[in-house]
Amino acid sequence: MGPARRWPVISALGVIQILTWGSSFYLPAVLAGPIADGTGWPLAWVVGGLSVGLLAAAFASPRVGLAIHRHGGRPVLALAAVLLAVGLAILGGAPNLPVYLAGWIVIGLGMGCGLYDPAFATLGRLYGSDARPAITTLTLWGGFASTVCWPLSAFLVERIGWRGTCLAYAGLHITVTLPLALLMIPPMPAKVVGSVRERRDGGTLTARERRAYLLMAAVLVFGGTVMAMVSVHLIALLQARGVALASAVTYGALIGPAQVGARLVEMAGKGRHHPLWTLAAAMALVSLGLGILAAGLPAVGVALVLYGAGNGIYSIARGAVPLALFGPVRYPVLIGRLALRGLIAQALAPALGALALAYGGPDVAYGLLLILALANLGLAVTLLRNG
């Protein structure tokens, strides 16, 4: 498929990513307070619904990768829209906490079928080894998910309440996401269908590849842990160092633009360097940013811009590195297996961060983040040297 025909596909996937991230991963940031206030359910359990969803997504991911390997991404992304709509409808009508958490299980299955990893696998199936520019462009779209959906969620909550907001997002998935997946995502190319028939499992690795796979799995575990801990606990960590709430929020807002800016720089490079260099650069930037925060230096804004830039291109690397290391035929299966580890880490990381803050204080929490980031830098360098 020529470059001119990629833009409609990537744009459709971009809108799908914005609505999928915005109505799942980013949903509790705005809705958790109103849900707890309106129902009396414990806030920890309300927020914990996301962890339940991430665990469901994790255990679904290997099967999702295999399904994309065999059938392409279109039916899987369409299923994601349906699952997200059903899960959000369950949330909107939940009479009690167990039903609310059950809704998050369904949403989690939708996340497993519709977030970055299935979208990357879809692009790998469509474009083969040339999918890296498409992956980079897609992450640029995804970077606007919170920018679009946090204000949208706040607007909807103000006017129709949290239950109405959940139902509105369910309607968007049926009327926007589902048609985009069915009408704009092409079926798997015939030549790829033939290769699938020849290798049904798609996941066999040599000894050298197995080592690279395990290193990449560790990168995703540590990277997912750091990302989730920072996302959930950043404001508390900054306040614990004496930063006022308003300033902490302002500093936190720097991360989004830094992510998008770094992705634009990566896009401008047009894939001239191996994605392992992107991964190493991402881990170096994240480590430097967290190192400044851990040291308590008076450069919080600089630290968060560095962290945001690293996190931005890390999203690209985690899609592009497996494609480069293992090739397009096995890519959907392997990225699905790899996603299992990273999503479990993201699900458990908020609790780990809360324990570190409660029992060790901010210094221990910052130290843990820095250790994980430096370990990931070491893993990335090892992959680069052996790649």
**CATH number for the domain that contains residue 312:** 1.20.1250.20
- Considering 141, 171, 198, which residue would you say is the last residue of a domain? 198
Indicate if 168 and 258 belong to the same structural domain.
Answer: no
Residues 146 and 292 placed together within one structural domain of the fold:
no
The pLDDT of residue 19 is above 60: yes
**What is the percent of the chain with per-residue pLDDT over 90, rounded to a whole number?**
55
Q: Within this chain, do residues 355 and 285 fall inside the same structural domain, yes or no?
A: yes
- Kindly report the pTM of this predicted structure: 0.86
Please, are residues 294 and 370 in contact by the beta-carbon 8 Å criterion? yes
Q: Give the pLDDT band (50/70/90) at residue 249.
A: confident
Task: Give the domain-ending residue among 147, 163, 198.
Answer: 198
The more confidently predicted of residues 189 and 384 is: 384
Cα(361)–Cα(136) distance, integer angstroms: 37
Domain end position, chosen among 146, 163, 198: 198
Which residues, other chains included, contact 373 with Cβ-Cβ below 8 Å and sequence gap of 6+? 222, 226, 283, 286, 287, 290, 291
156 and 42 in a common domain: yes
Same domain, 290 and 377: yes
The two tokens of residue 170 are: 């369910």
Residue environment code for 332-370, b if the CB has 16+ CB neighbours within 10 A, otherwise e = bbbbbbbbbbbbbbbbbbbebbbebbeeeebeebbebbb
Average pLDDT over residues 145-155: 85
Q: Does the pLDDT at position 227 exceed 70?
A: yes
Binned at pLDDT 50, 70 and 90, residue 345 comes out as: very high
Q: Which domain holds residue 119?
A: 3-198
What string of DSSP letters covers 123-134?
HHHHHGGGGHHH
Average pLDDT for 103-127: 94
308 and 177 share a domain? no
> Do 269 and 172 fall within a single domain?
no
Asked whether residue 250 falls in the same domain as residue 382, the answer is yes
Q: What is the pLDDT of residue 196?
A: 53
Strands (E), the chain: none
The pLDDT of residue 200: 54
Closest CA to 170 of 115, 94, 114, 92: 92
pLDDT for 16: 96
Asked whether 380 and 371 are in contact (CB, 8 A), the reply is no
Q: What is the mean pLDDT of the chain?
A: 89
Residues 116, 265: one domain? no
Q: According to the model, what pLDDT value does residue 260 have?
A: 86
Q: Tens digit of pLDDT for each residue in 256-302?
A: 888 888 888 888 876 678 889 999 999 999 999 999 999 988 899 99
Query: How many domains does the structure of the chain reveal?
Result: 2
On whether both 98 and 23 belong to a single domain, the answer is: yes
Q: Is the pLDDT of residue 35 over 80?
A: yes
Same domain, 249 and 186: no
Q: Are residues 172 and 236 in the same domain?
A: no
Structure tokens at 365: 């929490």
Cα separation, 204 vs 69, whole angstroms: 13
